[in-house]
Structure 1
Amino acid sequence: MEGREARRSMATTLEEVLLSIETTSSAHSLSSSTTASKEALELGRVISSLAVPRSVDVSIAANDYYKPRAVKSHNSCTEEDRSSLLRFLAGLSHDGGLAASWRPDVDCCHAWEGVVCDDEGTVTEVSLQSRGLHGSISLSSLAGLTSLTRLNLSHNALSGSLPPELMYSASLVVLDVSFNSLDGVLPPLPMLMTGLKHPLQLQVLNISTNNLHGEIPESIGQLKKLEVIRLSNNNMSGNLPSSLGNCTRLTTIDLKMNSFSGDLGSVDFSSLHNLRALDLLHNDFSGVIPESIYSCNNLTALRLSSNQIHGEISSKIGDLKYLSFLSITENSFSDIAKTLHAFKSSRNLTTLFIGENFWGEVIPQDETIESLESIRHLSIYRCSLIGNIPLWLSKLKNLEVLDLSNNQLTGPMPSWLNSFNNLFYLDVSNNSLTGQIPATLIEIPMLKSDDYKAHRTILFDLPVYVTTLSRQYRAVTSFPALLNLSANSFTSVIPPKIGELKALTHLDFSSNQLQGEIPPSICNLTNLQVLDLSRNYLTGPIPEALNKLNFLSKFNISDNDLEGPIPTGGQMNTFSSSSFAGNPKLCGSMLAPCGSVEVAHTIPTISEDQQCSSKTISAIAFGVFFGIGVLYDQLVLSRYYG
C-alpha cells in the first residue's frame, strides 16, 4: 500500500504538460528512486509525423470530445433539466462560485456556466472541469439529464462512487471524471439494462487518478462503441476481462499504475484492429506477451514496463509497422541480441526503452543493426550488460537520447561520439569505463549549440517521468541537456574545452579518477543547473566566477583536494557544507574558518576565466539521470494521455 499511496501523491504533479508533452495528466511517485528510474526513459516522437491511417485519431478525437459546444439553444431550458442541475448544485459542499452563474431566476440554456443545450432546450453537455467542486456526485440529479451526451467533471474534488446509470447511460458519449477522489468499484451493468436493444453510446471513459478499487467488470464488453478507456492511477486489481476484446473500436487503453495481474492472454487483442496506444505501466501482469498483440496493426505506442512479464520478444513485433514507441523496462525479458534484431520492419520506431532486463548478458558487438536506424531515444540501463560500447550505436545517426547507465561496460569511450548531430542526452554512469575523456566528446554538435532547443521540435508520444515520477516531460525542449560520466574509472584531466558545450544543463563527472584543476572554460556553461565533480582528485582553488552560474541549483565538489577559501556571495552561498566536505585544504564560513578575511582577499587577482578554472562543482545529478529512465517510458504515451 505504501507504494500505491506514493503513486497517488504524485497525481498532483501531473498536468505537467507532462512536463513534457504538455499533458494534463498527473505523475505519481514510486516508493523508491530505484523504481522511479525504471520508468524514466521514454521519449517519443509526434504520432502525427507517422504515416499512420487517420481514420481513428485518438489524440484529435479525444480533444474534440472534451471541447464544449459554443452553440446555445434558442429555447428555454426544460424544467426537468433545470431542476436536476439545481439538485446537483445543492449537493456540493463547495461549488467554487458556480452558484453565481447557476441562478434559479436565469435560464440554464443561455447563461449557466458550463451548460449547453440543444435546439429544444434540453441539456446535452455539462463541462465543469477544474472548478474547485467538492462533494459527492448526485445520482438523483445527474440521472435526470436524460439527453446528456457529454459530462466533464475532471480535476475537482468530487467523492463518492460512480453511479452505474452514468457509465451505462443510453445517451452519454463522453464521461470524464478524472482527477477527483471517487472511490468504490467500476460499476457493472445493472441487471435491468442487460436486455437493451440499442447499443450504449459511450465512446470516451476517463476515470483516471481516483481511488477506485476492484476489477474491471465483464459488462465492459457491452460498451461496443468505446474508443478510449483511461483507468490509470487507481487501486484496481484482478485479471483483465476477456470481454474487453468485444470493444472493437478501442483506440486507447490506459491502465497504468494499478495492480492488475494475470496473463495478458485473457484478452484477444487480435480483434482490436483500431488500437493505437496500450499503456500497462506499473502493474503485476505476468506470463509472456500474447501473440494476439502483434495483430494490432495500427499500434503506435506500447508500454509494458514494470510488470512481471518474461520470455523473449517475438520477431512478429516487426509486423507492427507503425510502432513508434516501445517500452518494456523492468520485466524479465531475455536474449537482448534477438530483441534488437526483431524490429526489421519497424521503420517508424523512434523510442525504445528496454532497460532492467537481459540481466548479465553480453551486449551485441555487431557493426550494424539495421532495424534500429530510425531510433531517436534509446535506453538500455540497469541490465549489468557486459562488453564494450558497441560500434552499431554509431550508425544510429538520429539519436537524441542515449542511456547505457548501470551496466558493466568496459573499455574507453568511443571516438565517434561527435557523429551524432542531434544527441543532447548521454548517460553512461555506473559502468567500468576507463581511459581519458575523449576530445570528441566536446565536439557533439547539439551540446555546443547556443540555441539547441530550436532544433528540437519533436513532441513525445507518452509522458516521460524523471526521478521519483514527480516530473513529466512532453516537449523535447523541456528535456535536460545532460552529460553523465559518473561512477566510472576515467583518468587524466577534465577537457580544457568543456566550456564549449554551452547547451549543457546537467554535468556529472563524479566518482572517477580525474586530476588537475577545473578548467577556466567551465564558467562559460551559463545554462548549468547541476554540476557534480565530487569524489575525484581535483586540485587548486574554487573559482569565484562560479558564482555567476546563476541557474546552478545543485553543486557538489566534495571529496577532492581543492584548496583556498570558498568564494562568498552569489550562488556559493546557497549550497550547504556537504557540497564542499572532504577537501581538507578548503576554508570558509561553512567549513573551517580561514586565517582572516584580509588573508582571503590578498590572494592574487586573476582573470575571471582563470578563477573559474579553479573548479566548479555541481549537484547530485545522479537522481535526475537515474530517473530519466522512467522519463522516456512515459514520454511516448503522454500524447495519448492528454
Structure 2
Amino acid sequence: MAFTGFAITVLLLSLASDARPCSDHEKSSLLRFITGLSLDGGLAMSWRRNGTASCCSWEGIACDGDGAVIEVSLPGRGLQGSISPALGDLTGLRCLNLSHNSLSGGLPSELLASNIIVVLDVSFNQLSRVLQQEDLSSSVPDHRPSLQVLNISSNLFTGEFPSIVWENKSNLVVLNASNNSFQGWMPSSFCISSPFFAELDLSYNQFSGSISPGLGNCSALVVLKAGHNQLSGALPDELFNVSSLEHLAFPNNYLYGALDSVINLRNLAILDLGGNMLNGKIPDSIGKLKRLEEFHLDNNDMSGELTKVNFSTLINLKKLDLLCNNFTGTIPESLYFCSNLNALRLSFNNLHGQLSPRIVNLKSLTFLSLGYNNFTNITNALHVLKDCKNLIVLSVRGSYKASCSLSGKIPLWLSKLKKLEMLVLPNNKLTGPIPAWIKSLKSLFYLDISYNNLAGEIPTSLMEMPMLTTNHLDPRYRTASAFPKVLNLANNNLTGVIPREIGQLKWIDILDLSSNSSSGEIPQQFGSLINLQVLDLSNNHLTGAIPSDLNKLHLLSAFNISNNDLEGPIPTGGQFSTFTKSSFGGNPKLCGIIIDRPCGSTGAHPVPMLSTKQTGRRVAFAIAFGTFFGLGVLYDQIVFSRYFG
C-alpha cells in the first residue's frame, strides 16, 4: 500500500513544476480548506508568508507546468477539524494525502467520487460519519474516475461498506479500509469493475458472514487481508484459483475446514490463517509453495504427525508459527533445511522426542519457543542450543515432562549468547546461586528464572544489567521497546537482604521477588524505579516500615507485600489509594484505613496470616500477577506478535 502510493506520488512529482503560477481559483480553494480547520499546524501562517507568491510554492503543495495544483500532501501536521469539499474544486488534483492527523467528520463525496484524483489517503484520522451510498451516487460523474489508490484505514467509519466506493472505478488498484468499524457482509465484487485490482485490506473491522466466491474473479489480486473480523464458514475453493496471490491473511476469524487446496497458490509469500477453527493436516505437498516466507497456523484445531510434513523445499521460510494445535510426532528433521528460518513457535502441541543437534543449521534463528509439549532431555536440548549464537528469545516454559526438568546450575554457555534478549526458564529444578555473568548479556531485558531451587543472596550484579539500568532508544532494540522489562526471581530459596543497588534498575517495568526468604527492610531506593508498573515482594521475611518513597512510583499498578513482618502505617495517597487489602495481608503489625486497622488502635484485630506459605504464593501470584505471568499461551502470543508482527 505504502509503496504503491509512494510510486505514484514520485511519478506525479516528476511532472511537477512551478514554472507558471497557480490561478486565483486554485489559491482560493486551498485557503478555504485551511480556513475550515480548527487547528492548522501553522500552515495558515506559512502560506500567508508566501501569499504573494504562487500557491505552487506553498508547503505541501505541488503543481504541474501549467500551474495547476496536482498534489496536496500534508501528513502528520496535527490538523484538526473537517475536510473541506473545496479541495474537490482543484480540477488538476491527482494526489491528496492527509494521513496521520486528527481530522473528523465525514469524507467529502466530492473527493471520493472525483474523476481526477489518483491517490487518496486519509488514513489515521478520526473520520466517523458513515459513508452514505446516496451521497456518493449523486457525485459520480458521467465518465469513469481515475482513482487507483484509496486508503481510509484507521478511522472511525461505521455501518455497511458502500459499494459505490469501488463501483465505477475501473482503475482501482489498492483499497485499504482496515481498522474501522464496518459491518455487514465483506465486499467482494471489486474485480467486476476494476480488472487491475491488486490489493485489499479489510482487517480489524466487524465484517461477518462467509467469504464470497466472487474474490476468485480477481485474477490480478496480490494481497488479500481481512483478519480480525467475524467471518465464518470455509475458505471458498475459488479463492485458491487466484494464482497471483502473494499475501493471504484471514487471522482471528471463525473460519473452518481443511487447507488441501492452498498448494495451488504457488506465489504465496505470506499465509496467515491463525486464530480460526481450521482442522485436518498440513498438506503433504506444502513444499510446493517454494516462495513461502511466513506460515501462520497458530490457534487452530489442526492435527496430524508433524514428523511427516516435508518442509525441506521451503528455503525462503522465515517464520513458522504452529502454536496451539494438536500436532503430534517429533520436530521434523526437514525443518533444518530452512536455512532462513528466524522464528519457530511450536508451543502448546503434543510433540515429543528430543531436540536434534541439526538445529544449529538454522543460522538465522532468533526466536525459539517450544513451550508446553512433551519433549524429553531438556539438558541435552540446552546443550544443543548453545551453538545457536543468534538466539534473542528462548522460551522452553513447560516444554518438558516433570521428570525431565532442567536441573543443576544455570548453564554457563548461556553467557555466550551475546544477542539474547529474553531468557525464560521457570518451573525447573535449577540450583545454586544466580551467576554474576548474567550482567554480561548486554541485550537481556527479560529474565524469568522463577519456580526453581536457586539459593544464596540476590546478587548485586543483577543490578548492573545494562538493559534495565539504561534507556536504550537504539532501533536495534525493538523487542525491548515493545515488551516490558522484567526481572522475575519468584519462588526460589533466595536469602539475605534486598540490595540497596536495586535503585539502579531505573528502566525496569516488572519486578517479582516473591516467595523467597529475603529479610531486612524494604530499601528506600525502590523509590527510584520510576518506570515500575508491577512489584511483588510477598511471602518473604521482610521487616520494618513501608518506605514512603514508594509513593513516587506513579506508574505502579500492581503491588503485593503480603505475608511478611512489616509494621507501621501504610502510606496514603498516590498509587497506594488504588491498591486493595490483599496487597498488605499477613502483616499483623501494619495499620491503616485500607486494612481496617486504624493506626494507634489497641482493640483492632490483627490481620490473619494465611494458612501456609504455599497458599500465600498461589494467592499472591494469581491476584497480583495474572495479567503478566498467567497463561503461557498469552505470554507466547505477546512476545511473538510484538517481535515478529
Q: The TM-score by the shorter chain falls in which range?
A: 0.7 to 0.9
Give the 5 Å matches for 1:35-54: none
Q: Is the 8 A contact 1:366 1:392 kept in 2?
A: no
**Alpha carbons of structure 1 residues 272 and 357: separation in structure 2 relative to 1, 3 Å:** same
1:371 deviation in Å? Answer: 5.0
Distance 2:318 2:512 in 1: 35
Q: Is the 8 A contact 2:360 2:388 kept in 1?
A: yes
**Alpha carbons of structure 1 residues 389 and 571: separation in structure 2 relative to 1, 3 Å:** farther
2:7 to 64, 80, 95: 64
Q: Is the 8 A contact 2:487 2:511 kept in 1?
A: no
**Alpha carbons of structure 1 residues 182 and 170: separation in structure 2 relative to 1, 3 Å:** same
Give the 5 Å matches for 1:316-335: 317-335=262-280
Question: What's the % identity of the aligned pairs?
Answer: 32
1:540 to 441, 453, 456: 456
**Alpha carbons of structure 1 residues 505 and 137: separation in structure 2 relative to 1, 3 Å:** same
Give the 5 Å matches for 1:48-197: 60-67=3-10, 69=13, 71-103=16-48, 105-139=51-85, 141-188=86-133, 190-192=136-138, 196=142
**Alpha carbons of structure 1 residues 352 and 393: separation in structure 2 relative to 1, 3 Å:** same
Q: What letter corresponds to residue 203 of structure 1 in structure 2?
A: Q
Matched, 1:228 2:161: no
| Secondary structure of 1:422's aligned partner | coil
Q: Is the 8 A contact 1:340 1:369 kept in 2?
A: no
Distance 1:98 1:495 in 2: 60
Q: What letter corresponds to residue 418 of structure 1 in structure 2?
A: V
Distance 1:255 1:367 in 2: 32
Aligned to 1:491: 406
Distance 1:588 1:416 in 2: 50
Q: What letter corresponds to residue 161 of structure 1 in structure 2?
A: G
Matched, 1:626 2:637: yes
1:498 deviation in Å? Answer: 1.6
CA RMSD of aligned residues (A): 2.8
TM-score by length of 2: 0.74
Task: Out of 297-306 and 506-515, give the one that drifted further.
Answer: 506-515
Give the 5 Å matches for 1:499-578: 499-552=415-468, 553-569=485-501, 574=506
Give the 5 Å matches for 1:368-447: 368-438=310-380, 439-447=382-390
Structure 2: any 5+ residue segments left out of the alignment? 469-484, 524-539, 545-627
2:158 to 213, 223, 230: 213
Q: Is the 8 A contact 1:238 1:259 kept in 2?
A: yes
**Alpha carbons of structure 1 residues 560 and 388: separation in structure 2 relative to 1, 3 Å:** farther
Distance 1:105 1:369 in 2: 64
Give a deviation string over 1:219-272, Cα, whole Å, max 9, x none.
Answer: 222111011111011011111334323222122111110011122125x22332
Q: Is the 8 A contact 2:498 2:518 kept in 1?
A: no
Distance 1:529 1:627 in 2: 15
1:442 deviation in Å? Answer: 3.7
**Alpha carbons of structure 1 residues 193 and 548: separation in structure 2 relative to 1, 3 Å:** closer
**Alpha carbons of structure 1 residues 205 and 168: separation in structure 2 relative to 1, 3 Å:** same
Distance 2:318 2:137 in 1: 51
Distance 1:429 1:586 in 2: 34
Q: What letter corresponds to residue 524 of structure 1 in structure 2?
A: S
- Which of these two proteins has the greater Rg computed from alpha carbons? 2
Residues matched between the structures, number:
515
Distance 2:89 2:140 in 1: 20
TM-score by length of 1: 0.74
1:303 to 224, 240, 249: 249
1:149 deviation in Å? Answer: 1.1
| Secondary structure of 1:143's aligned partner | helix
Task: Out of 61-70 and 246-255, give the one that drifted further.
Answer: 61-70
Q: What letter corresponds to residue 345 of structure 1 in structure 2?
A: K
Give a deviation string over 1:87-138, Cα, whole Å, max 9, x none.
Answer: 1111111111011122284234343211122232222211111111111111
Q: What letter corresponds to residue 69 of structure 1 in structure 2?
A: L
Distance 2:140 2:451 in 1: 68
Task: Out of 86-95 and 108-117, give the one that drifted further.
Answer: 108-117
| Secondary structure of 1:222's aligned partner | coil
Distance 1:299 1:335 in 2: 23
**Alpha carbons of structure 1 residues 260 and 367: separation in structure 2 relative to 1, 3 Å:** closer
Distance 2:53 2:130 in 1: 36
Aligned to 2:191: 245
Q: What letter corresponds to residue 160 of structure 1 in structure 2?
A: G
Distance 2:356 2:156 in 1: 49
**Alpha carbons of structure 1 residues 562 and 431: separation in structure 2 relative to 1, 3 Å:** farther
**Alpha carbons of structure 1 residues 249 and 404: separation in structure 2 relative to 1, 3 Å:** same
